[in-house]
Structure 1
Amino acid sequence: MTHPPGQPETSAGDAPATPRAVRNWAGNVTFRAARFHTPASVAELRKTVAGSRAVRVLGSGHSFSTIADTDGDLVSVAGLPPVVEIDAGAATVTVGAGLRFAEFTGAVHRAGLALHNLGSLPHISVAGACATGTHGSGTGNGTLASAVRALELITADGEPLVLARGDADFGGAVVSLGALGVVTRMTLDLVPAYDIAQWVYEDLPYARLREHFDAILSAAYSVSLFTGWRDDRMEQVWLKQRTGDPGPTPAPPADWFGATPAAGPRHPVPGMDPAHCTRQAGVPGPWHARLPHFRAESAPSSGDELQSEYFVARRDGAAAFDALARIRDRIAPVLRIGEIRTVAADDQWLSPAYGRDSVAFHFTWLPVTAAVTPVLDAIEEALAPFAVRPHWGKLFTMGPERLAQLYERYDDFGALAVRLDPRGVFRNDWLRRQFPQYGGI
């Protein structure tokens, strides 16, 4: 029997179980939790939190560090009631925080509405994705967290707290790293439903990318560039364009900045089956079936990998690309695939795109931590002149002194976490490393 990523082999209701092996999606982290809980109601969750000295929340397990680790109580909200409440008049949907995007986006579409953006994987949980600053792509598209209008969380004393856009603390509440409480519900902004047509191009020369960097990354509603950093070309470019009229969407030109259309379906990772990927070749489809790279009903990969991602201001994207190209002989030997995307600015204090339109450089690594770690050091050194920010849910090596310089609201977030969790119930070793001046918040 197989189990969803991040879930134990045995658990039932709120009865605490000592899991035999609870691991993250990639399998590189085995959680140390003394007990694992899957409460079936908010009342059970409140009781667990109020009675615990240490709690962390596990979403879909798609983080690559020990961000969710604890030696106390590990809680999954996947067992809470699967709330999906669509308010067409307000253009919102309120969902249970443990739901994965694929579990409610179809209902949103059938109501004639849509999310503005989705990540590459529809398999990830909504609260976990927002808590770490996860995103999709597009020069006008903010992170998934930027769609959150309100949330409900259970604080350290077991009491519920609702925070909404406009509240003084809201800027620190969504991308919160699990430091403020257990999120149970989220209300997301919606837009009118739309279709997307997706094309894949191959062999975009680095020289053409460098010459037209911003034009290429803004050429469609969502653009992803894939490279192994092994030679002077982007192996693939994925263009996801919104369509307005019924019927076939006109294809982009046969020669596009020196790249050519793919002859058939493609998977971004070399050697992987493209059957797992969303429909290509310009066939229009609903936003939720095209914006992700991978089909909801398929496993995108084996999970036998590590990931990192770094954000720079969009205005520095081309120069940052050059800096990485200069160390590609360090990157390529331990890399499965790299991806370059854009993200619009938002106002979440710990978002990697806080206050600036950004370019994100993503790296999917071979699962060899000892070999990857020094490469992360080299990448962070190469990108340091561009005030590079790491993705919180992935691997990075920079320390808290640097993080405090990169995030203008770093101190505000630390103070908020101490105020909402004075006993340190939601603190763990990972948080203590990132925020040592607040006792690990």
Structure 2
Amino acid sequence: HLAPEVTQGTASLEVVENPGELPRSKRNWGGQILFDPERVASPRSLEELQKIVRETQHTIRVLGKGHSFSPVSVVRGGTLINLAQYRKVLDYIAPSSGNSFVGTVRLEAGATFTDICHFLSEQSPPAALKQLPSPLVITIAGALATGTHGSGINNKAMSAHVQDIEFVDASGELKRYRRGPSGPDVVTSENVAGGHVGCLGVVSRMSMDVVPYFEGRNFFLHMPLERLLQHWDELTGDLHLGGSRRPLVDSHSIIVQWDRGTCFMNAKHFLPHYNPSIACKPPAWGEHPFGNSRWILMAKHSADLRSCLSDVGARVDAGNAVLEVRAASLAAQAGVKPGWRLIRVDGKKVQDSESAAMVFSKAETSRRKALEEARQAGDAGAAVGWEARVSLWFEDPAVEYEKHFTFGSTPEINVAVQSPWHDSVPIWALDQPFEDGPDCNYGQQSEFFVPIENAVPALRAAWDVMGRWRHVGSGGLDGGIVGNSELRTIKGCDGWVSTTPRDSLSIHLSLSGSPKVQREIWQELPKLEEALAAFGARPHWGKIYTAKFWAPRFPALYGEGLRRFKALAQQHDPAHKFVNPWIRETLFPELA
């Protein structure tokens, strides 16, 4: 365990040496936090949930999937409510012209995004959620509680897609809030659904927006960080400001290597967009400074190579030279042009159409065999995401690639793929295996939000700080503190304690989960916090931050919203049954 002083004021945080030996009900996803309950209650119905809350006299906290890195679920001798057995879909209204193509899915609080993605995919016709978080294995209620968001300057956080939300208050009574106009005497679902961190009670049921099925075209673009900053305004456009310039992408995930000054962007385009009025401009990466003259196009598996090439929109001759690129195809939008060459199939070099067909045939045979073996072994993730694609490598023969931009130590090739919304919007595709624990370099996380108008100076300040940090590399998780960093943008919402009350940039850090570097993390993190605080930053409720630094700043940062939130929490929980040491320290210091 780390001593409390090492955690810079977050006294309720503990770090354990061997978290993998503990059951999931005892620890968080990264293994750094022990929930320490006296009992774990697992309701199967609303009535059971109400009874548990009503009859419990000591502290209550709720466990979703444990994907939080702050001590939000630490209960220390109290009751931890596990909602894993309370996860049914209760009602569904399909999106149609009669409801402006925004339907409804109503669900119990233990339902995960994985559950809902499968449910919507099985409908006829299939449907989708507007936004998704990076991992789908987490509960929707837990994601809302900590303020989880997706990405895209015209896309609000998950809480804004809630039509209504219901809490079980400290007395076991139900409190329900619906979408609608906000006001001094009105509480809406958007006011309270996001970032409530369990202070208003236990979420019991909620309804979410549902839109028609869509797919995403994802373009993975490597570039120097400085180039990204120079074109930042183009990335976001100004529709969010009432202007007419559409953003460059519908959504994005930008992974940054601060020590090298490089990044790559997962540029996401929704096809068709569920709301054309906020859609980005059509992708044309061949004409943009973010583009590249080497591309891997991921095609759907077919019986023959010609069909795979047709899937991405390219036709080649006997010598593998590109003859034609179909308009608006994946190849065209990536920037592949006639005269380019197909140089690899499934990662293996090919010289002409004959060798390409031979490589494809062998790869297809191996793929089918591997999939069958995986199915027999019960590996459901073997045929999801990119595993269900074949890679086709194209390059412009006129470019000298030894002089081309490098990401890391070798020249990088941009990648493009089209896939269903539940594979293209999150980082991990639906059913893709998802590692947890400190042996994963995402074992500790932190994130900060700054107003979008401060994005570029805030990023330069962050670069100045994190460019000096030790980054995890070939030496393993003990060799550095930063695994990677991700940049996203979010449209502002009306949440009282939302981390994104205005259009914002988020700067996320995936930090090493190794117990050996936790002291270093907590020594370095305050330097970044101080740098970003100058730009109006707010920390993520579900990730680590220095409580003693931020708690005194929260009243000014959240203003009237925080006052109204605390007043409502007092109504729901007058005896402070839902308050643990971390919440008392950060949000309710007057109770200390």
Partner of 1:37: 41
| Helix, strand or coil at the partner of 1:208 | helix
Partner of 1:101: 113
Partner of 2:345: none
Q: Is the 8 A contact 1:243 1:284 kept in 2?
A: no
Q: Is the 8 A contact 2:487 2:507 kept in 1?
A: yes
Partner of 2:71: 66
Residue 432, structure 1, aligned to residue 584, structure 2: yes
Residue 187, structure 1, aligned to residue 207, structure 2: yes
The TM-score with structure 2 as length reference comes to: 0.65
Q: Is the 8 A contact 2:249 2:268 kept in 1?
A: yes
Residue 178, structure 1, aligned to residue 198, structure 2: yes
Partner of 2:81: 75
State the distance in 2 between where 1:121 and 1:350 align: 23
Aligned-residue offset at 1:113: 3.0
The code of the aligned residue for 2:192 comes to: A
State the distance in 2 between where 1:57 and 1:297 align: 25
| Helix, strand or coil at the partner of 1:413 | helix
Correspondence for 2:271 among 231, 234, 243: 243
Within a 5 Å distance, the mapping from 1:83-162 to structure 2 comes to 83-88=89-94, 90=99, 91-109=103-121, 110=123, 111-162=125-176
The code of the aligned residue for 1:253 comes to: W
Correspondence for 1:310 among 427, 433, 448: 448
Residue 210, structure 1, aligned to residue 229, structure 2: yes
Aligned-residue offset at 1:332: 4.2
Aligned-residue offset at 1:264: 7.5
Cα 1:336–1:165 change in 2 (3 A) is same
State the distance in 2 between where 1:413 and 1:20 align: 31
Aligned-residue offset at 1:439: 1.8
State the distance in 1 between where 2:39 and 2:138 align: 23
Aligned-residue offset at 1:258: 4.7
Partner of 1:385: 534
Give the greater-gyration-radius structure (CA): 2
Cα 1:124–1:263 change in 2 (3 A) is same
Cα 1:319–1:278 change in 2 (3 A) is farther
Cα 1:182–1:258 change in 2 (3 A) is closer
Correspondence for 1:196 among 216, 222, 225: 216
Aligned-residue offset at 1:324: 0.8
Partner of 1:399: 550
Aligned-residue offset at 1:26: 0.6
Aligned-residue offset at 1:38: 0.9
Correspondence for 1:415 among 567, 571, 574: 567
Aligned-residue offset at 1:284: 2.6
Partner of 2:257: 228
Residue 257, structure 1, aligned to residue 289, structure 2: yes
Q: Which stretch shifts more, 297-306 or 115-124?
A: 297-306
Correspondence for 2:459 among 316, 321, 327: 321
Cα 1:165–1:21 change in 2 (3 A) is closer
Per-residue CA shift, 1:86-128, capped at 9, x if unaligned?
Answer: 1125511111111110111233243443221111111111000
Q: Is the 8 A contact 1:142 1:346 kept in 2?
A: yes
State the distance in 2 between where 1:328 and 1:43 align: 49
| Helix, strand or coil at the partner of 1:241 | strand
State the distance in 2 between where 1:19 and 1:45 align: 22
Cα 1:153–1:20 change in 2 (3 A) is closer
Aligned-residue offset at 1:48: 1.0
| Helix, strand or coil at the partner of 1:284 | strand
State the distance in 1 between where 2:525 and 2:48 align: 41
Q: Is the 8 A contact 1:418 1:438 kept in 2?
A: no
Unaligned 5+ segments in structure 1 are 1-7, 10-17, 266-273
Aligned-residue offset at 1:299: 2.9
| Helix, strand or coil at the partner of 1:140 | strand
Partner of 2:338: none
Cα 1:20–1:350 change in 2 (3 A) is closer
The code of the aligned residue for 1:342 comes to: T
Aligned-residue offset at 1:147: 0.3
Q: Is the 8 A contact 1:277 1:294 kept in 2?
A: no
Per-residue CA shift, 1:113-148, capped at 9, x if unaligned?
Answer: 322111111111100001111011111111111101
The TM-score with structure 1 as length reference comes to: 0.86
Q: Is the 8 A contact 2:422 2:429 kept in 1?
A: no
State the distance in 1 between where 2:25 and 2:179 align: 39
| Helix, strand or coil at the partner of 1:411 | helix
**Percent of aligned pairs with the same amino acid:** 32
The code of the aligned residue for 1:200 comes to: F
Cα 1:372–1:19 change in 2 (3 A) is closer
State the distance in 2 between where 1:275 and 1:312 align: 38
The code of the aligned residue for 1:65 comes to: S
Q: Is the 8 A contact 2:384 2:431 kept in 1?
A: no
Partner of 2:511: 365
The code of the aligned residue for 2:106 comes to: T
State the distance in 1 between where 2:157 and 2:67 align: 16
Aligned-residue offset at 1:292: 0.6
Partner of 1:268: none
State the distance in 2 between where 1:335 and 1:264 align: 30
Per-residue CA shift, 1:23-82, capped at 9, x if unaligned?
Answer: 111111111100011111111111111111211001110000211110200001121151
State the distance in 2 between where 1:225 and 1:95 align: 32
Q: Is the 8 A contact 1:169 1:416 kept in 2?
A: no
State the distance in 1 between where 2:567 and 2:37 align: 27
The code of the aligned residue for 1:308 comes to: S
| Helix, strand or coil at the partner of 1:423 | coil
Q: Is the 8 A contact 1:34 1:73 kept in 2?
A: yes
Q: Is the 8 A contact 2:447 2:509 kept in 1?
A: yes
- State the aligned residue count: 410
Within a 5 Å distance, the mapping from 1:13-24 to structure 2 comes to 22-24=26-28
State the distance in 1 between where 2:519 and 2:508 align: 19
**C-alpha RMSD of the superposition:** 2.6
Higher helix share: 2
Q: Which stretch shifts more, 296-305 or 256-265?
A: 256-265
Per-residue CA shift, 1:289-308, capped at 9, x if unaligned?
Answer: 21011023223333322000
Cα 1:72–1:121 change in 2 (3 A) is same
